[in-house]
């Protein structure tokens, strides 16, 4: 298939700039894979769609306030760094803008001296390796004080509450972007689901900025996926095995949870086992799903790997029709937008 096959026309005003309140009041499109039937509800209605014995798998990764603004020590020039991943100890790979001000050996201060950073290297693709220094509070506490949430480029409004770009169950720091399908859950909704007999399991996949990169290859098979770190605990692996054995459904909350489960199963004869490592799995139409029975996800960018994953699970025609209807019905799109439940 070609990348252009996954294009759809989206009016700019449908790109959600702010989250709705409360979280579970967003709209929910329900798509039946076998019939293609579409139903329109609200996210809190997910309670009625899930059954006792079902298992929800959620990504508990927490977003780093990874966008930091600094001043160059010798010249006073302003710089912006976006932390991408930790290389070792205090050294992080970062995007720098403007890059010409961040030559090797340059030193910058952040937050009136709360942190400082020296450019100690430059990667082949132009990213900077920055060695940070900070006070007794530690790196992450210092980052909380000076950093801002790395909102996607299509969100132009300032986020008033940092926690609104975190899921209510986030706990493992490391993502450069939120696993946004989980933003619709409230603690109250999760308790109601547990009381109903729906099991909740967690994986950790640290979302990289590659999730926002467009597919530039004409043929989708020529696209190279970015690699992301993920972990599946023995508790979660056992929960999935028991759910399958008892005839329950395994439902991934978000494409990151989906990729974690399917990447693991692809390497282990269709089974989910405890795992710590990384994956660059690319799921597109034709992929044979080994674990998933359902998927909760947001509405994704045209020609992105995420809409390709959704098409692989729901079917290409079903997916593109659902997106067409979502535009007609004025659903809200992308990170702070509405949700879809594919069953």
The domain ranges of the chain are 3-63+161-342, 67-146
Whole-prediction pTM: 0.92
Q: If you average pLDDT over every residue of the chain, what do you get?
A: 95
Q: Checking DSSP bridges between strand 172-175 and strand 128-134, what pairing results, if any?
A: unpaired
Least confidently predicted of 113-117, 144-148, 158-162, 309-313: 158-162
232: nearest Cα among 291, 167, 301: 291
> Is a pLDDT exceeding 70 seen at residue 103?
yes
pLDDT given for residue 137 in this prediction: 86
State how far the Cα of 32 lies from the Cα of 41, in Å rounded to an integer: 14
List Cα–Cα distances, 340 to 60, 202, 250, 257, in angstroms. 20, 20, 16, 15
The two three-digit tokens of residue 103, written as one number: 């030559």
pLDDT band, residue 74 (cuts 50/70/90): confident
CATH number assigned to the domain with residue range 3-63+161-342, chosen from the 4 options 2.102.10.10, 3.30.420.40, 1.10.260.40, 3.40.1780.10: 3.40.1780.10
| 203-261 residue pLDDT tens | 999 998 776 677 999 999 999 998 899 999 999 999 999 999 999 999 999 999 999 99
> Is a pLDDT exceeding 80 seen at residue 314?
yes
The two three-digit tokens of residue 239, written as one number: 């929960």
Least confidently predicted of 62-66, 67-71, 211-215, 264-268: 211-215
The two three-digit tokens of residue 149, written as one number: 């949430």
Place of tokens 């979502």: 326
**Burial status of residue 52 (CB atoms within 10 A of its CB: 0-12, 13-18, 19 or more):** exposed
- Whether 343 contacts 50, CB under 8 Å: no
Question: DSSP strand E in 103-243: where?
Answer: 107-110, 115-122, 128-134, 172-175, 199-205, 228-232
Question: DSSP strand E in 197-272: where?
Answer: 199-205, 228-232, 250-253
State how far the Cα of 15 lies from the Cα of 30, in Å rounded to an integer: 20
Least confidently predicted of 139-153, 180-194, 262-276, 283-297: 139-153
Which CATH number describes the domain made up of 67-146?
2.40.10.240
| 1-42 residue pLDDT tens | 999 999 999 999 999 999 999 999 999 999 999 999 999 999
Averaged pLDDT for residues 173-183? 93
The two three-digit tokens of residue 329, written as one number: 């019905």
Q: Checking DSSP bridges between strand 339-342 and strand 294-298, what pairing results, if any?
A: antiparallel
Backbone Cα Rg of the chain: 21
State how far the Cα of 58 lies from the Cα of 79, in Å rounded to an integer: 35
State how far the Cα of 93 lies from the Cα of 84, in Å rounded to an integer: 6
pLDDT given for residue 212 in this prediction: 66
| 259-309 residue pLDDT tens | 999 999 999 999 999 999 999 999 999 999 999 999 999 999 999 999 999
Place of tokens 């996607």: 152
pLDDT given for residue 226 in this prediction: 84
Q: How far apart are the first and last CA of the chain?
A: 24
211-216 own/partner pairs: CB under 8 Å, 24+ apart: 211/177, 211/305, 211/306, 212/152, 212/153, 212/177, 212/301, 214/301, 214/303, 214/304, 215/3, 215/6, 215/303, 215/304, 215/305, 215/308, 216/3
- Name the DSSP letter for residue 238: H
Q: Crossing angle for the helix pair 255-267 and 305-314, nearest 10 degrees?
A: 70
Q: Checking DSSP bridges between strand 107-110 and strand 294-298, what pairing results, if any?
A: unpaired
């Amino acid at each position: 298939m070609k990348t252009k096959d996954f294009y759809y026309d989206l009016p700019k005003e449908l790109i959600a700039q702010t989250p709705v309140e409360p979280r579970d009041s967003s709209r929910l499109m329900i798509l039946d894979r076998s019939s293609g039937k579409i139903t329109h509800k609200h996210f809190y209605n997910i309670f009625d769609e899930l059954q006792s014995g079902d298992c929800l798998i959620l990504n508990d990764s927490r977003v780093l306030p990874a966008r930091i603004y600094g001043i160059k020590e010798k010249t006073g020039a302003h710089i912006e760094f976006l932390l991408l991943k930790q290389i070792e100890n205090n050294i992080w790979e970062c995007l720098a803008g403007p890059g010409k001000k961040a030559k090797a050996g340059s030193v910058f201060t952040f937050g009136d001296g709360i942190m400082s950073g020296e450019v100690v290297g430059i990667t082949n693709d132009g990213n900077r390796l920055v060695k940070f220094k900070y006070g007794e509070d530690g790196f992450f506490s210092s980052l909380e004080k000076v950093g801002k949430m790395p909102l996607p480029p299509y969100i132009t409004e300032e986020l008033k509450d940092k926690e609104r770009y975190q899921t209510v169950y986030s706990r493992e720091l490391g993502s450069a972007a939120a696993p946004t399908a989980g933003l619709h859950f409230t603690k109250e909704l999760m308790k109601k689901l547990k009381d109903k007999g729906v099991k909740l399991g967690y994986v950790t996949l640290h979302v990289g900025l590659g999730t926002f990169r467009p597919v530039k290859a004409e043929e989708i098979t020529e696209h190279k996926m970015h690699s992301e770190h993920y972990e599946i605990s023995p508790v979660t692996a056992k929960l999935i095995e028991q759910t399958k054995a008892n005839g329950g459904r395994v439902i991934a909350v978000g494409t990151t949870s989906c990729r974690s489960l399917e990447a693991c199963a692809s390497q282990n004869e269709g089974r989910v086992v405890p795992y710590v490592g990384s994956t660059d799995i690319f799921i597109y139409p034709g992929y044979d799903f080994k674990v998933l029975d359902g998927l909760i996800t947001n509405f994704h960018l045209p020609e992105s790997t995420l809409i390709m994953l959704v098409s692989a699970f729901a079917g290409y025609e079903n997916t593109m029709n659902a997106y067409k209807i979502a535009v007609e019905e004025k659903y809200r799109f992308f990170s702070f937008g509405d949700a879809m439940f594919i069953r």
